[in-house]
Amino acid sequence: MRKMPRRNGDKMDKQLQEKRKKIICELVQDEIYIPMKEKEMAAFLQVAKEDREDFHELLSELLREGKLNITERGKYVKPGKNMLKGVFISNARGFGFVEIEGMETDLFIPEEYVNGAFHNDTVQVRLLEEKGGKRQEAEVIRILSRGTTQVVGTFQKGKNYGFVVPDNMKLATDIFIPIEWSKGAMDGHKVVVELTNYGDERKSPEGKVTEILGHVNDPGVDILSIVKGFDIPMEFGDKVMKQANRINLEVSEADMQGREDLRELMMVTIDGEDAKDLDDAVSLSMEGEDFLLGVHIADVTNYVQENSALDREALKRGTSVYLVDRVIPMLPHRLSNGICSLNEGVDRLALSCLMKVGRDGEVKDYRIVESVIRVDKRMTYTSVKKILEDKDQEERKEYEAFVPMFEEMEVLSGILRAKRKKRGAIDFDFPETKIILDKEGKPLDIKPYERNTATKIIEDFMLLANETVAQHFYWLEIPFVYRTHDTPDPDKINQLGIFISNFGLGIKTAKEEIHPKEIQKLLGKVEGTPEEALISRLALRSMKQARYSIDCTGHFGLACSYYCHFTSPIRRYPDLQIHRIIKEHLRERLKEERIQHYAAILPQVADQSSKMERRAETAERETDKLKKTEYMEEHIGERFEGVISGITAWGIYVELPNTVEGLIHVSDLNGDYFYYDEANYEMVGRDTGKKYKLGQRISILVAKTDRFSRTVDFVEDDAEEDGDEW
């Protein structure tokens, strides 16, 4: 008979924990094993009474890890094909979906099979019998861990109680608040609620108000609610701030020891006007026909030691978050805007990638070194554009000493871009916008933010440095964090093919795989056309998301085999992490013990960084949608021209030139009963045969807006015929 090893002392160490888990898994996997309940298994394994609590926790961990399953009767069994673990995504209409890692398509959970699961819970599900042609359905069997512990919403007061209407539209029910737990909240207050009970079919979830953010109409509360809703930390804890405040704001002689002194190199930063966290500088000189390009990146690791309070907080955040009205930094301002920022005229510590690049764009030679640098000028994209594109004489005179270097940079940038294009790299050139707010946070304008020569120079130089560093460390065969982008799913590419056939376009695939060059060719064909932005977005949506990984599987979009994020350690944790590895390698300290250490921690670093990047992107998108909706409130009843950007059973989406997207409900389409032709992605009139297609130009009137759902509704404008030229 197997026997569970006893612990010594009060705390079970990790080694013993793993040993016990292994024994449980071996038992359940044994061919002669008969499913047992927890009590039966504990007795069989002779678990001492004082160890029963630990045993229960081990079983729970194995369930969360997907190494065990549990039946409806509470018996433990080995994982089966019809039993899976995933994250539950709820829908306001009562049903939900479960995202399973590694599965392209989510499982559908009918309302009657949700069984108490709450949004973002990790759940165990059982697959239900397949129904021909429909999405695979499943039933929630067990809630393994709760994913939502707090909710942000609007408080509404009753006589002896209150309730909170969640901001998150996915949450199907309001949260009941006992009056003694309302913290004095009044009608219309935006509040943060800690869930105390998740409710069931008969009873609403309950909670207590932990924070009052302000009234729904107070300036800044709308964005703050989104930040809190995504659980993005805004303040730094005392321990982190104490550590940050101890850091010297000047580079000492001791800090410079052993570093290459590059302070004599002519060097600039080129960023946006309002940027304060300057983590990359560039230098360029000529050696005969070759370009000597230096990409110099702030050495943040000199101030953020591994496993310090600062480091743990940076990993927890994963990235800085750039919202429409504020930046939430990964590191305290004393570092991000201070000692780590490559400010003009001061000594700074850096990691420099020094490359000799030929006229063909190939890197002939390179060195990666620890350096000390001093930026000569803090330039802006606008200023460099004036110098290079506009040939602005006043600007050229002001920066006379730097103009020859900028002109050489423009030449090298063009060479690098042409080289990437030749190998098939995809260049998505969307018309991005910047939302201009007044002091109260009210949107005044939505302005186009276009890439120019200056932005392309920095982009091209950073890409080259990232590739060079990734390739170098790949061939060293040591643990590293790469930026990967997998080949698109064939089904999504087929869908894209159907979409673009509406425009008389096509794409080639070979053995169900597509080469990035085909996407590049497609974007080249639509360049300069009214459909360019739409088709670019549809092509992007057909791609997989880029992520961080310890495996160097290449980057589809850039058409390269080696890629990493090296150039932004102030605002991205993966860059900070690989800087540590690079420095240990340069100092010849990367011995076997350290290699094993990095091999152990990097999978979690890559996973956490990918998750936090998704969170930041979603929060940024939601704040933009909110302010665009608020902006369109001032334009209700006005006429705009747009392009049909999406078609669904409930209506057609139209995108305006200012990038605002709105919906024309199917019932508001003119002159017929319309139905959605799913096979051809068209909206078709039953009687007239009139069709609405993707990319079709259309005239609309702004009908209404809803800040709560962040949506804009349009109606078709009768005054203009569909498809007229703009």
Please give the backbone phi and psi of residue 551, each rounded to the nearest 5 degrees, phi first.
-100, 130
The two structure tokens encoding residue 230:
């995504």
Of residues 642 and 723, more confidently modeled: 642
Residues 102 and 84: beta-carbon distance below 8 Å: no
- pLDDT above 60 for 8: no
- Segment among 217-226, 469-478, 619-628, 642-651 with least mean pLDDT: 642-651
The fold of the 14-77 domain, in CATH, is Arc Repressor Mutant, subunit A (1.10.10)
Residues 6+ apart with CB under 8 A from 471: 561, 562
Chain centre distance of CA 204: 32
Report the C-alpha gap between 334 and 249 in whole angstroms. 8
Amino acid, res. 649: A
- The full length of the chain comes to 726
- The SS3 assignment for 368 reads strand
pLDDT at 525: 86
- Best-predicted range by mean pLDDT (117-131, 279-293, 438-452, 684-698): 279-293
Closest among 643, 647, 585, 626 to 712, alpha carbons compared = 626
Instruction: Return the domain boundaries, the chain.
Output: 14-77, 83-145, 150-218, 238-483+560-622, 487-543, 635-716
Task: Extract the tokens encoding 139.
Answer: 């039933």
Per mean pLDDT, which range of 436-450, 470-484, 511-525 is the poorest?
511-525
Strands 674-677 and 682-685, by their bridges, are: antiparallel
- By C-alpha distance, which of 155, 217, 213 is closest to 181? 155
Q: Give CA–CA dist 453/41, Å, rounded.
A: 68
469 φ/ψ angles, rounded to the nearest 5 degrees: -65, -45
Is the per-residue pLDDT at 130 higher than 80? no
Tell me the residue type at 105: T
347, β-bridge pairs: 374
Q: What CA–CA distance (Å, rounded) separates 165 from 190?
A: 10
Note the pLDDT of residue 726: 27
Distance CA 365, CA 363 (A): 6
Average pLDDT over residues 5-32: 75
- Tell me what percent of the residues of the chain surpass a pLDDT of 70: 95
Query: 639 near 719, Cβ under 8 Å?
Result: yes
Phi then psi dihedrals of residue 584, to 5 deg: -65, -35
More confident residue, 489 or 628: 628
Cβ pair 161, 177 in contact under 8 A: yes
Distance CA(625)–CA(662), nearest Å, equals 11
101: nearest Cα among 598, 547, 599: 547
> Crossing angle, helix 573-586 and helix 309-317, to 10 degrees?
130
C-alpha gyration radius of the chain: 29
Cross-strand pairs, 643: 655, 697
Block residue for tokens 């409930």: 650
H helix runs in 45-195, sequence order = 52-64
Judge contact between 371 and 352, C-beta under 8 A: yes
Q: Which residue has the higher pLDDT, 439 or 293?
A: 293
Distance CA 119, CA 616 (A): 19
As given in the structure block, the two tokens for residue 194 are: 């800690």
Q: What was the pLDDT predicted at 308?
A: 97
The pair of three-digit structure tokens given for residue 404, joined into one six-digit string: 């020859």
Question: What gap in Å lies between CA 134 and CA 371, rounded to an integer?
Answer: 59
- pLDDT for 101 equals 77
Neighbouring-strand partners of residue 109: 96
Mean pLDDT of 402-413: 98
Residue 723 has pLDDT above 50, yes or no: no
The helix or strand, by DSSP H or E, that contains position 16, with its residue range, turns out to be: helix 14-29
Q: How far apart are CA 452 and CA 690, in angstroms?
A: 41
CB count in 10 Å sphere of residue 370: 19
pLDDT confidence of 510, banded at 50, 70, 90?
low
Who contacts 367 (Cβ-Cβ below 8 Å, separation ≥6)?
353, 354
Model confidence at 551, pLDDT cuts 50, 70, 90, reads: very high
Lowest mean pLDDT among 8-22, 26-40, 269-283, 575-589: 8-22
Please give the average per-residue pLDDT across 149-164, as a whole number. 92
| 8 A C-beta contact, residue 686 and residue 673 | yes
The number of helices, as runs of H, and strands, as runs of E, in the chain is: 17, 33
Kindly indicate the confidence band of residue 721, based on its pLDDT and cuts at 50, 70 and 90: very low
∠ CA 715-720-726, nearest 5°, is 105
512 has pLDDT over 90: no
Coil vs helix vs strand at 78: coil
Q: Is the pLDDT of residue 230 over 90?
A: yes
Domain range 83-145, CATH architecture: Beta Barrel (2.40)
Residue 591: other Cβ atoms inside 10 A: 10
Among 249, 274, 222, smallest CA distance to 443 is for 222
Segment among 465-479, 606-620, 709-723 with least mean pLDDT: 709-723
> Does CATH number 1.10.10.10 belong to domain 635-716?
no
Query: Angle at CA 12, nearest 5°, toward 6 and 15?
Result: 90
Looking at residue 13, its pLDDT comes to 67
Q: How confident is the model at residue 653 (pLDDT cuts 50, 70, 90)?
A: very high
Per-residue pLDDT, 343: 96
pTM, full prediction: 0.84
What is d(CA 225, CA 151) in angstroms, rounded to the nearest whole number?
10
The answer to whether domain 83-145 and domain 150-218 are alike in fold is: yes
Confidence of residue 301 (pLDDT cuts 50, 70, 90): very high
Specify the pLDDT at position 722. 44
> Can you tell me whether residue 379 is helix, strand or coil?
strand
- Please state the separation of Cα 91 from the chain's center in Å: 22
Average pLDDT over residues 278-288: 97
State pLDDT tens for residues 175-192.
999 999 999 999 999 999
The predicted structure's pLDDT at residue 671? 74
Q: What is the dihedral of CA 452, 456, 457, 461, to 10 degrees?
A: 170
Q: Measured between alpha carbons, how far is 478 from 590 in angstroms, rounded to an integer?
A: 9
pLDDT higher than 70, residue 528: yes
Interval 695-710 mean pLDDT: 92
Which region, left, alpha or beta, applies to residue 211 given φ > 0 means left and ψ of -120 to 50 means alpha? beta
- Give the whole-angstrom CA distance, residue 111 versus residue 716: 35
* Residue 302 confidence (pLDDT) above 50: yes
CATH code for the domain defined by 150-218: 2.40.50.700
Q: Given a cut of 50, is residue 725 above it in pLDDT?
A: no
**What confidence tens digit (pLDDT) does each residue in 57-99 have?**
888 888 777 788 777 678 888 877 677 888 999 988 889 999 8
551 in helix, strand or coil? coil
| Whether the predicted pLDDT of 128 surpasses 60 | yes
Cite the DSSP H helix spans in 221-269. 221-229, 238-245, 253-256
pLDDT averaged over the chain? 90
Q: Is pLDDT above 80 for 10? A: no
